[in-house]
Amino acid sequence: MDATRFSLILALLIAGLVFALSEEADEPCADECECRYDVINEKKKRVLDCSNRKLEAVPSFMKLAGQSFDYLFLNKNKITNLQSRAFRGLTVRHLDISDNQIRGVSDNAFKSVDGLQVSVQNLKFCEWISSGRVKGADQT
């Protein structure tokens, strides 16, 4: 094998290895969302962004099972209900559901999402927040 051919093969192998080890290599994401890394509070955070997409319901996150996110943005949509186990399959620390039209929340909507912090600013018809009905979530 000549030196040029060897160098080319070596370069391709190294490029493939770098891509495979990259944190930002393409991974499955929810159909209506974008998975990416952002710098938030001067730290690199994994973000699942489903904001401003005219969603009327929380999308399915089952194909994200086993993945972990720092932030899930569902803000600025038209979501009206949070169904039982709406976030099933998802591991997330911060959830932003602000600027939606939520009228109902199942008692088990946040089941199996431990330690979740929920941002609920500018929600319409949110009696369930002040009544303490949001179980399993810290409200901010």
- End-to-end Cα separation, the chain, in angstroms: 63
pLDDT in tens, 63-122: 898 899 999 999 999 999 999 989 888 889 999 998 998 888 888 888 767 667 776 565
Q: Return the CATH number at 105.
A: 3.80.10.10
How many whole angstroms separate alpha carbon 89 and alpha carbon 63?
8
Which among 66, 112, 68 is positioned nearest to 88, based on CA atoms? Answer: 112
pLDDT in tens, 23-59: 444 567 988 999 999 999 999 999 999 999 999 999 9
Q: How many domains does the chain have?
A: 1
pLDDT band at 9 (very low <50, low <70, confident <90, very high): low
Residue 7 lies in a domain: no
Place of tokens 């969302």: 33
Residue 134 lies in a domain: yes
Output the pLDDT for position 128. Answer: 45
Give pTM, 2 decimals.
0.69
Domain encompassing residue 113: 25-139
